[in-house]
Structure 1
Amino acid sequence: MLRNKYITLKKAIYIAVICYTLILLFIVATSYICIKKLDQKVYLWIQLENIDRQILEVRRYEKNYLLYHNKQDLIYAMDYIEKLELELEKNSKFIKNLDTKNKIDELKKTINNYKTILENFIEQEKISTAQAKKIRKEGHKIVVIFNEIRNKIIQKLDDEIKKYSLVPILIIFIVLLIAPIGAYILAIWIIKPIEHLAYYAYQITKDQANCIPEYEKWFIKYKEYEQLRKAINQMINSLNNKQQELIQAEKMAAIGTTISGIAHEINNPLNNIFLTAEIIIDSFEELNQEEIQEMLQDIYKEAERAREIVAHLLEFARNKRESNLENIDLRKLVKETLKLVANEIALKGIKEKIILPEEEVFVKGNFNQLQQVLINIITNAIQAMNKGGKLEIRVKKKDYQAVIEISDTGPGIPEDIRKKIFDPFFTTKEKGTGLGLSVSYSIIQKHKGQIEVESEEGKGTIFRILLPVYRKQGRGNVDGNR
């Protein structure tokens, strides 16, 4: 029963995208049908004009014959009569559909009578005044009947053109009304459990709760939240057990504060989720579908990253960790990481300078873990520059090593503290746990790299990450180390 209540966030986003795509296809299909209908109406309008021209030509040659008695004019008139009959036959189906069947039949009958009179005139040497009046009368009757048909058809065409022109506009208006509401509901559906998670995470940091309870308000929940909640609770239990072991072994009496490390480690992804979600809520009417989809994907990525961070903390407590290694371009790693902390940088009024090489700088490693290292270091730099400053990040190659330098203009780190910053649980922050840089140091070591620190009080700090370059070589050797 519980399984039916959960859906993955990825699937929910896919469903939302599919729904919006179907709506878009519906709009396109409806617009296409309306355009085709309009095209038919315009085509019929043109055909009516063609028929009108045929009738005018017949009457012109009729008039010429009555004036000059040239039988060639009768032959020309007969040609146009035949063309007129062809035009009527070709378009009679469309015209009859517009409630003009009786009039069309009357027009055809009149044209046939007119044609018979013309044929008789061709056989006669001379016509009488009565015959001339008769042919004028029949010709005039053709004009009158056709004008009645055309006026009626034009009225109906005007009505249908207006109708088919309004349909796409009406559909688009309805979609524009429904789409933001759907996006807002989806955003709230994603945000509320995260707020619930953040609230209890904060309560845990204040020792006012020892686990995160299940979020009960939504009947359908997304699976990643529940996995994250269970992972955090499992981590809390594991850290509590570790705390007891350390206390019994008389190691690090401050282990009781490790539970608050949850907030430190997952604070960055949660902040990014909140900031992105706030943008969606505050500006969703101004955002288009593509921007909303991109922001929801960012939320999903951050939730995934938070879950992985929790898993890493749990593994750190158990002293076990496995890494899925891949080829990583450090330029991309830096760019993606800066997107996640861009809001914090902007809020603190910090100027950033990014220096990246033109060529790719590849290393072999785990993208999320290396990103976690950069976020930890950059976040420390941001927190060190409360009143603003300058953050510089540089990527370069040095011999067979890839180097990432992160420098800030903060107050610097005293020498006696600098020696301890990578020790587990060492911190100078009031609510810190000292796990951030310790985990970062461990990750870089597992990537066969190093972290160096240079700092001068009053001037700032430089963190330098050195990793082996991954280089593909022509004869099968792909190891960047020599």
Structure 2
Amino acid sequence: MNTKGSLFRGLFSNAVFVLILISIVPMFVIGYHLMDVNSRVLKNEISQKQQTVASRLAAAVRFNITHNTQYFSVFVDLHTDFGGHNFINAADLKYLRRSNPSVLYLAALNTEGKLLLSSGKRAESVNWPQEIKSVLQACVKEQKPYYLGGVYPSKDGLFMLMAFPIRQHLNDRRVSGVLVAETGLAELGRTLLQVYPMDMNAVIATQEGQVISYNGAPGGLAAEPQPEMTDRVLEIKKLLGSSSSKEIKLSSGEKILVAEADLPISGWRVYVDQPADVTVQLLKESTFHSLWDVTVIVLMMLLFVGVVSYWVIKPITRPLERLRRAAVKQRENGDYVVRPEDLDIPNNEIGELAQAFVDMSGALHTRRQELIGAQTELAQMNQALEKRVEERTHELKAATRELVKSERLAAIGQMASIISHEIRNPLAVISNATRLIKMLVRTPDAKLLKQFGIIEAEIKQANSIISEVLGYARTRDLILSTIDLNSYLREILLSYPFIPGITLKDELDPESVRIKVDAEEIKQAIRNIVSNAVEAMNGGGTLTVGTKVGRRVVCIYIADTGPGISEEVRHKMFAPFFTTKARGTGLGLAVVGKAIGRHKGKLFIQSEVGKGTCFQIYLKIYKKPGDTSYGEAS
């Protein structure tokens, strides 16, 4: 790597990075601390501002409600001694409604709650039975100066239910009746519109969470129900607890700063809130105003660190960089030898390190040449030994296979000779004796004839087994002859004694080829496969015999619809004397394998349990139709 590039990596860059950290970290720590302090100060200021706004809104609501209550209280008090009659009459109610447009409905009740007279149309949204019960409790039994009921909607907006006790004289303690008024809150809404802040959310709600007014409401009042805002108010109330202001986190994940003010006169509450990240935004805005000053300070600091680092560290990193480049060349090129002129060797510890590296490079080169020579000789010796071992191993395996095969065939041949000598002669005697007895018995009955048949069948089966064993054990030279494959296969199938229930399907290729084989040996192999297939189908099924002609080989396939062969049996079925039948020598398929092997052919089996088995024999084509030379030289 060049020297220019080394300025930005290695010791130099690490040292610069450390110096920058030493310079910047304290600044950031102090700045973070100052921002944290400013953040807390801003939060306190915002909370105080929110409490001020909440108190101002509460004062506006309190003034409006107090004004209405004083209006009715003064009227009732003045009417007590100066009304000119004992109780409020219809003219008084009309006067009250005419002098105060916010009054929607007036009613005078006796102390039992019975309606005496009224003015205006009563709103249908009021739960009058419940409200009258509360009115009598507050004004008659508890003798409170007034009663403030619930807030209800009407076509003109929201209104509040108010009630005031009526007495005959000013100082009387006994209550003569109750004045009930439905008073509209439109004036309160107009007042709140002038008081609501523009940069905060404000809500006025009852103890139960009913929203009466909020910042941005048309006319200043919540004329329609606000279920989402009600849920938010109830959650804020729960999270605030006994505090009047603090930062809370809503269930939606939103963090807000909220302040609260109570209205004891009505039981309402005022909530004022802002997003909690407003302090961060204010700090960002204040920081961006001084961004240029911060940028200049940081640039000056980085320039100072760069100059000092270059002056102090570069004399150390320059020789180390040259030493590194020399080491890279040494690693990439084993024949490279570092020379003293390739390195900047100062008169210090780094110079001593560079000189030691030069000496080490020369010694490594010498050792490398010696090692390469030794490795070359060793590789040649190993190659010669491996070749000799491979040749001897191949010869040993071939000899072992031939020896095992010869010993096996010799043992089988010896056993076959014993069987032929010791069993066939007694079988011949038994067969002759059976024929003699049949001749001597003039009128044998059916049972006796059946027994004679069983004896002859068993003698035939025994002779067949002996012939099969002798056939596998005998080894003779192949008697090759050229045959037409299709005619040869049809002749074998015509001579085979198929039992009823077996359907033969012919799929011989129209292009018949000639093969050069030992006709008797291949015929025995094919008959053994056909016999196994017929026995596997258990007296019923389809036997398919066909051929497929390729370029140099022909495939003879024999398929049945029997139960198929399991994977475990397929691995053992060509072993001599292995059988799954109740009777048999287990040499049928062994003879097949031996015959195909002697003709240098290939034998494959495709089988699926429950669907059948297909034997495929591949033999070399000796001659095709019209071909006068193919296969003659082999």
Give your verdict on TM over 0.5: no
**Higher helix proportion (structure 1 or 2):** 1
**Higher strand proportion (structure 1 or 2):** 2
Q: TM-score, normalised by structure 2?
A: 0.27
User: Using CA pairs below 8 Å that are at least 6 residues apart, which structure has the higher relative contact order?
Assistant: 1
Q: TM-score, normalised by structure 1?
A: 0.35
Larger radius of gyration: 2
